[in-house]
Amino acid sequence: MTRTSMGKALNTALRDALREDPAVHILGEDVGALGGVFRVTDGLAAEFGESRCADTPLAESGILGSAVGMAMYGLRPVVEMQFDAFAYPAFEQLVSHVARMRNRTRGRLPLPLTIRIPYGGAIGGVEHHSDSSEAYYMHTPGLQVVTPATVADAYGLLRAAIACDDPVVFLEPKSLYWSKADWSEDRPGEVPPPGRAVVRREGRSATLLTYGPALPMCLEAADAALADGRELEVVDLRSLVPFDDETVCASVRKTGRAIVVHEAAGFGGAGAEIAARVTERCFHRLEAPVLRVTGLDIPYPPPMLESHHLPNADRILDAVERLQWSDEPAGRTGERGRHAVDA
Amino acid sequence: MTQLHTATHPHEADAAALRAREALLPEVRALRVLGTEQAAGADPDLLLSFHRRLVTGRRFNEQVTTLTRQGMLAGYPSSTGQEACQIAAAQVLRPQDWLFPTYRDALAVVARDIDPLQVLGLMRGDWHNGYDPRETRTAPLCTPLATHLPHAAGLAHAARLAGDDVVALALTGDGGTSEGDFHEGLNFAAVQRAPVVFLVQNNGYAISVPLHKQSAAPSLAHKGVGYGMPSTLVDGNDVLAVHTALGAAVERARGGGGPTLVEALTYRIDAHTNADDSTRYRPDSEVERWRRRDPVLLLERELQERGLLDEAVREKAEAEADALAAMLRRRLGAPAGLDPMDLFEHVFAEPTSQLLEQRDMLSEELRLDASQGPAGGAHR
């Protein structure tokens, strides 16, 4: 085993997909000679040629629209959108065509497309380089939305996305590109399929439901919570669409308490959907309302202030204390929270 | 050293670039063939087939418009007046070529010999389109403007990568040329030298907005020049001219010459759809002027001059049109027979557990509805 970064695992996934299936084509801005601004396509144009890993004109709608046509002709395009907010010009293609071509043609024209979007903040990026856009894509029927939080998942989920006969929005957490794990490209190992959530840490006090860039802070909070005698279970959703109600509800029914944690703004976000689903399914097993710890409801702030916007282990721990513990003195609930958390 | 001696002088290079650019500029006058010497060389059988198809196409537009007024279709964007573009577009394509139509191009799809009922699904309120895009080499009718142009570029590019002898023909209107995807689609196609032909049917109005408020370019064909593609201007009511221009563009694409933009000057005789009142934004005199340039009329004049238009020809065309109209009335009048349970099909390759739950819910609702019979109230 070697220490491998998530970026490298993604690169390996693309390389293996290109090797195994001649229908796979990568296209995007700067994916060729430069190897992508995050180097995720590093070396692929050199190895597979410029038609398999193609630099395109700088036009996201055109990139995705061309990929639609390529998929119509039987290819499996993998599109890179470079940065979250740069994908917005392609939004019309995504919602008006990519998401519904299968449905519109009654299954005759599925679009096996992967749309890679580096997303999220905490890398000191200027505006338009740190958005968490998952809720836009989740709200569009016909799109699968997945996001890895571990190196092994980065490889496994991306391979699965490319092999999928449906369009997949593949959200790459920028802050984890350089995170490393013991992982070998010679033996990448099996990961659960997209659509399955995974319990990353067992616990019985409360469940943290999270995905992508927020997983490490949840694990950190779970470590710290032990000091207060709280054993937090951490569930990595991995896939927002399809959503794994089964694993999520099994965990919440076990612990009786749940907090959804994500970087994106809370209002109308993924956490709202997840909290509602959990409440609908586990109401009689819940000891407290499902809470959310999220980014603030503001446009992504300048880098010098982003630490105040982003959720972190402290805010998660504050929220844990608001979960109406029976061993707490009455009236204490909510007082410890320094930060506003929806309750 | 050799390279230095043979290198082009900068000024010579400028002159060459200028010549290359000028070569791309469209002719100021739109190409016309009917009524000119060029038409004299046209094959009589081709002209007669155009006539039959134009007459039938006109009847298609009229009959579907009538059925829309009778409530059998949710709406129909008529292409009356633009039949020459529609017929010529279908005619230049071989079976392996792809057509990318808009919502106003139902007739071009029907002219590709695709079942009209399948083509009218979108307008009828049925599932979007009943035809198989891969089998018929025809993309679904596109409702958002110009978003299908990058699709055509991408598909043509993929076909070229595969070494297949395939050309894509993408249709759009004058309004569509203002959309970002028009520019992105053309630019992609030009950079990739994709075998694709863009036909702009300039019918004067984007719903109510006239061309002069849509574009300040000398012509819409000029827009191709900026992308480095040859562009031509053609009389869109002259079926032979459209056929000639598109035919040349398709051949060029097939031969590896890259994309071409063809602007066809035509006119939408009817309103945008039956929901639109065209008297609010254009004078009757303008419509009348274009009626005198009707594509059927122009072709019949040519046929008459060449002694090709007799009663038998007219009767044959009319009979074909009558049969089509009768078929449309009969089949559009019949119940569509949709199954609500199909709502959950084809959202994903495999339905999600959330969809399966909703499917069960609807199934139960339908079962209760059926058990309560027609007298069952809205509330259970």
Render pLDDT for A5-22 as a digit per residue (tens, 0 to 9).
Answer: 999 999 999 999 999 999
Listed in sequence order, the DSSP H helices in chain A are: 6-20, 44-48, 60-72, 91-93, 101-104, 134-138, 151-163, 215-225, 245-255, 270-282, 306-309, 313-321
Cα–Cα distance for residue pair A153/A147, rounded to 1 Å: 9
- From the list A123, A134, A128, A102, the residue with the least C-alpha distance to A176 is A123
A65 contacts in chain B (CB < 8 Å): 147, 149-151, 153-154, 181, 184-185, 188
Render pLDDT for A53-100 as a digit per residue (tens, 0 to 9).
Answer: 999 999 999 999 999 999 999 999 999 999 999 999 999 999 999 999
Tell me the residue type at A82.
Q
Q: What b-and-e string marks burial along A42-71, b requiring 16 or more CB atoms within 10 Å of the CB?
A: bebbeebeeebbbbbeebbbbbbbbbbbbb
Instruction: Please give the structure tokens belonging to residue A108.
Output: 């005759």
Render pLDDT for A267-282 as a digit per residue (tens, 0 to 9).
Answer: 999 999 999 999 999 9
Q: Which of A48, A72, A100, A168 to mutate to test the interface with B (most CBs of B within 10 A)?
A: A72
Q: Which helix (H) or strand (E) holds A124?
A: none
| Catalytic residue of the set A25, A97, A128, A129 | A129
Strand partners of residue A5 = A180
Distance from CA of A116 to the nearest CA of B (A): 18
Tell me: pLDDT of A334 over 50: no
B144 contacts in chain A (CB < 8 Å): 92, 96-97
Beta-carbon neighbour count of residue B212 at 10 Å? 8
Q: Residue written as tokens 């089998």?
A: B135
B352 touches A at CB < 8 Å: yes
| 3 state DSSP class of A112 | coil
B328 neighbors B64 (Cβ within 8 angstroms): yes
| 3 state DSSP class of A28 | strand
Q: Are strands B168-173 and B196-202 parallel, antiparallel or unpaired?
A: parallel
Phi and psi (nearest 5°) for B199?
Answer: -110, 115
Q: Are strands A291-295 and B231-235 parallel, antiparallel or unpaired?
A: unpaired
Terminal-to-terminal C-alpha distance of chain B: 92
B 155-194 → A contacts, CB under 8 A: 155-159, 161-162, 168, 180-181, 183-185, 187-188, 191
Distance from CA of A28 to the nearest CA of B (A): 12
- From the list A214, A210, A284, A212, the residue with the least C-alpha distance to A247 is A210
B330 touches A at CB < 8 Å: no
pLDDT computed for residue B377 by the predictor: 52
Cα–Cα distance for residue pair B313/A253, rounded to 1 Å: 79
Is residue B5 part of the annotated active site? The answer reads no
B345 contacts in chain A (CB < 8 Å): 106-107
**Mean pLDDT, rounded, for A322-329:** 82
DSSP secondary structure code for residue A342 in this structure: B
From B154, B168, B183, residue closest to A68, measured CB to CB: B154
B159 contacts in chain A (CB < 8 Å): 73
Instruction: Please give the structure tokens belonging to residue B299.
Output: 């072709």
A147 neighbors A2 (Cβ within 8 angstroms): no
Instruction: Please give the structure tokens belonging to residue A324.
Output: 């109406």
- Cβ B184–A62 below 8 Å, yes or no? yes
Q: Residue written as tokens 């299908």?
A: B148
From A25, A56, A243, residue closest to B354, measured CB to CB: A243
From A56, A65, A166, residue closest to B147, measured CB to CB: A65
Is residue A339 part of the annotated active site? The answer reads no
Strand partners of residue A192 = none
Q: Which of B100, B103, B157 to mutate to test the interface with A (most CBs of A within 10 A)?
A: B157
- Cβ B180–A245 below 8 Å, yes or no? no
Chain A residue at shortest CA distance from B100: A69
Q: How far is CA B241 from the centre of its chain?
A: 16
Cα–Cα distance for residue pair B293/B238, rounded to 1 Å: 9
The angle subtended at Cα B157 by Cα B156 and Cα B160, nearest 5°, is: 85
Chain A residue at shortest CA distance from B148: A65
Q: Are strands A258-265 and A232-236 parallel, antiparallel or unpaired?
A: unpaired
Instruction: Please give the structure tokens belonging to residue A300.
Output: 């992504």
Q: Are strands A144-146 and A239-241 parallel, antiparallel or unpaired?
A: antiparallel
Cα–Cα distance for residue pair A289/A284, rounded to 1 Å: 11
Cα–Cα distance for residue pair A256/A286, rounded to 1 Å: 4
B207-to-A341, B142, B278, B287 alpha-carbon distances in Å:
49, 16, 8, 15
Instruction: Please give the structure tokens belonging to residue B151.
Output: 């699709």
Distance from CA of B33 to the nearest CA of A (A): 34
B327 touches A at CB < 8 Å: no
Q: How many CB pairs under 8 A join A and B?
A: 142
Instruction: Please give the structure tokens belonging to residue B280.
Output: 């609010």
Tell me: pLDDT of A52 over 50: yes
DSSP secondary structure code for residue B365 in this structure: H
Render pLDDT for A227-285 as a digit per residue (tens, 0 to 9).
Answer: 999 999 999 999 999 999 999 999 999 999 999 999 999 999 999 999 999 999 999 99
Q: The whole model's pTM is what?
A: 0.93
Cα–Cα distance for residue pair B265/B354, rounded to 1 Å: 50
B168 neighbors B100 (Cβ within 8 angstroms): yes
Render pLDDT for B301-326 as a digit per residue (tens, 0 to 9).
Answer: 999 999 999 999 999 999 999 999 99
Cα–Cα distance for residue pair A125/A306, rounded to 1 Å: 10
| Catalytic residue of the set B32, B254, B281, B359 | B281
B146 dihedral zone (left: phi>0; alpha: psi -120 to 50; beta): left
Q: How far is CA B209 from the centre of its chain?
A: 20
Is residue B281 part of the annotated active site? The answer reads yes
Residuewise pLDDT in 10s, chain B (380 residues): 344 444 455 566 678 877 877 788 888 799 999 999 999 889 999 999 999 999 999 999 999 999 999 999 999 999 999 999 999 999 999 999 999 999 999 999 999 999 999 999 999 999 988 899 999 999 999 999 999 999 999 999 999 999 999 999 999 999 999 999 999 999 999 999 999 999 999 999 999 999 999 999 999 999 999 999 999 999 999 999 999 999 999 999 999 999 999 999 999 999 888 888 899 999 999 999 999 999 999 999 999 999 999 999 999 999 999 999 999 999 999 988 899 999 999 999 999 999 999 999 999 999 999 998 765 555 55
Chain A residue at shortest CA distance from B186: A62
Chain A residue at shortest CA distance from B136: A108
From A59, A103, A166, residue closest to B187, measured CB to CB: A59
**Mean pLDDT, rounded, for A141-165:** 98
Tell me: pLDDT of A340 over 50: no
B151 contacts in chain A (CB < 8 Å): 65-66, 68-69, 72, 97
